[in-house]
Amino acid sequence: MCGIVGIWDYRNRISREILEKMRNKLAHRGSDDAGIFIDEKTNIGLGHQRLSIIDLSPLGHQPMANDDKSLWIVLNGEIYNFKEIRKELENKGYRFKSNSDTEIILKSYQEWGKEAVNKFRGMFSFAILDKKKEKLILCRDRAGVKPLYYYFDGNLFIFASEIKAIISHPKVKKEINFDALALFLEFGYIPEPHSIFKNIYKLEPGHFLEIDKNKKIKKEKYWDVIDFYLKGFEEKNNGKDFKETEVEEELERILIDSFKLRLVSDVPVGIFLSGGIDSTLVTALLAKNTDYLLKTFTIGFQEKEYNEAIYAKKIAQYFGTEHYEMFCTQKDALDIIPKLSEIYDEPFGDSSAIPTYLLSKFVRNQVKVSLSADAGDEIFCGYNHYQQINNIFQKINRIPSSALFLGKKSIQLLSPGLLASIIKPITKYSNLQNKIRKIERVLDKKDNLKEVFTTIDSYWLKDEIVSLLLNDFSFPKTFFDEFERVKNLDPITQMQAIDYKTYLCSDILTKVDRATMAAGLEGREPFLDQNIIEYTAKLPLKFKYQNGYNKYILRKVLDKYLPKELFEKPKRGFVVPMNVWFRDKLKPLLKEYLNPKKIKQEEIFNSNLIEKELNDFFSNKSVDITRLWLVLTFEMWKEKWV
């Protein structure tokens, strides 16, 4: 795992000093080696920080060139099937100087051009300087495991693994993108291709970006998860039959192959084990189908109602792994929260980044690579909200328009706050006021699944953001707009496909990449092998959700490996006790950064709304911290970078 950076300056000579400074901003992503290459003719510079995982020798040094020095590459990531591709290239007469996967990409491009990407199984962001074609070619993996940002102002093009490298260039202006801030307040993350800075963008997963000597930029998509969901829909309409036993056997084979491939390494590999179905399955399949001595790692919380470490420990004992566990405390959170702006470069609202970073530091003391089990929920319908939103969507579309009108008017007349105070004594649900606000908006959009989905999944609603932000902004296009492409699929499958391109990439994978890399640890995602999603996306929904059970077919596979009582439990997700902490030791952070006087002076947020939200949180234990947490993370980010 590594950090990459590059500059194409169309007006000025590349400064080695500036390029080294930018590269050094990525030193945490790879402290084993560092390199610089500057091509005086094209005025392009490439930089690389290396975390040595495959071929630990100096022969894996980057930037790396082909034999005649016409191609240069910098790579962040791993190509797990590189040995298989190497044999194919050797049969074509290619000879190799190293045992690295980087050289495989370089010579694959030399042989097949951009089509070579279709052979790669892995996680990667890379840039190739093609001196003969006078082009710079960027590429990002299918799911977006590895990040790739770029900046262009018409004369200066920069790319990097993280924003901090780009904004360290003296000619890059740090201007807040308020469109992106609006998205952040809505979802808790900033979806591709947007970033918090103007003129800085994320290259979308499954895409190439080319820029040439004439400053012409072209983006090209080479892979899209939606294509496989649509293909499954087409096969179903054509009468294709799926037998459960055959699906179970084929899926198990694909999973074992994909999981074992993630063990390819010249250094020890561990596993993040939460005790949930996905991480348990990774552990189970590798424990039973390899001779690898597994090390498993778990993080828990001192607050018993949030702690799931006990489940992971039982799984580890059953499979006989070398198991390690640690606990995240309020003090840990207090120490880590100020570091999040440095780690993520953008406002980032997923509070599980706190224990993820703490666990990554803990794991790095034992191993250099660790597997996680992210994407199981998106691929196999694991999130409870898929069923919940589908139920809401189906029910409101059966209610007569006149009744919906009366329901909405009742909410408006009573106000969400008053209605919540009436309902609260007879319900167990928390954060009622915000839920009632969402119900009111959903009633307006009852036949639009995109609007229902994004409204229920949002933190600040669109009209609230309009009142909250004082600067001009708009809500830009994102992959959420692709609900239109999948509108013929059933609602749950639509949500899965869109989540894969939004929440999974921009939240979950961002969280894990930055947290692990900040600790000098390589995180690998076994469920994100394309063979898994390309097969599973085409399966009918009944294999993912059946008889009230999500991850139906995964449970069938897992049932072969361990007793049901060890994995059959209600799904909680990785829940961090933020509501408890911010009413206790973390309370001073809110008082410092969200002080109404300070907020008013900045002229970014409506200070009256922030003050009301603070008062609601401290006076009512059913009010959730997340909306305030998003504003807090932005304020701490702004203090660090702007």
Do 292 and 375 lie in a common domain?
yes
Same domain, 125 and 249: no
Q: Which residue has the higher pLDDT, 623 or 278?
A: 278
Residues with Cβ within 8 Å of 109's Cβ and at least 6 positions away in sequence, in order, are 71, 73, 116, 128
pLDDT of residue 542: 96
Residues 349 and 205 in one domain: no
- How far apart (Å, rounded) are the C-alpha atoms in residues 182 and 131? 41
How many residues make up the chain in this entry?
642
Same domain, 203 and 247: no
- Residue-level pLDDT at 565: 83
Q: Is 340 left (phi over 0), alpha (psi -120 to 50) or beta?
A: alpha
Given 2, 139, 328, 381, which residue is catalytic? 2
Is the pLDDT at 412 greater than 70, yes or no? no
CA distances, 498 to each of 201, 479, 495, 521 (Å): 20, 7, 5, 29
Q: Are residues 260 and 361 in the same domain?
A: yes
Mean pLDDT of the chain: 92
If one counts the domains in the chain, the total is 2
Query: What count of Cα atoms within 13 Å lies in the side-chain half-sphere of residue 129?
Result: 28
- Confidence grade of residue 422 (pLDDT, cut at 50, 70, 90): very low
Q: Are residues 256 and 122 in the same domain?
A: no
- CATH number of the domain residue 369 falls in: 3.40.50.620
Beta strands in 530-598 (DSSP E): 545-546, 549-550
The CATH number linked to 156 is 3.60.20.10
Does the active-site annotation cover 2? Answer: yes
- Give the three-state DSSP class for 134: coil
Q: Note whether 146 and 81 are same-domain residues.
A: yes
In a domain, 403, yes or no: no
Residue 496 belongs to a domain:
no
| Residue 174 and residue 323 share a domain | no
For the question of whether the overall pTM of this predicted structure is more than 0.75, the answer is yes
- Residue 403 pLDDT > 70: no
Tell me, what's the pLDDT at 298?
95
Range in 236-250, 303-317, 527-541 the model is least confident about: 303-317
Domain hosting 125: range is 2-223
Over residues 584-609, mean pLDDT: 96
* pLDDT for residue 425: 42
pLDDT band with cut points at 50, 70 and 90 for residue 426: very low
Give the residue with greater pLDDT, 73 vs 428. Answer: 73
Task: Residue 449: name the closest of 386, 379, 542 by CA.
Answer: 386
Sign of CA dihedral 206, 368, 370, 502: negative
- Provide the total of helices (H) and of strands (E) in the chain, helices listed first: 29, 19
Tokens 């009622």 belong to residue = 432
- Which residue among 169, 198, 223 closes a domain? 223
Which residue, 193, 223, 253, sits at the end of a domain?
223
Per-residue pLDDT tens over the stretch 353-376: 999 999 999 999 999 999 999 999
Residues 88, 185 share a domain = yes
Are 567 and 601 found together in one domain?
Answer: yes
**pLDDT higher than 90, residue 586:** yes
Domain membership of residue 170 (yes or no) is yes
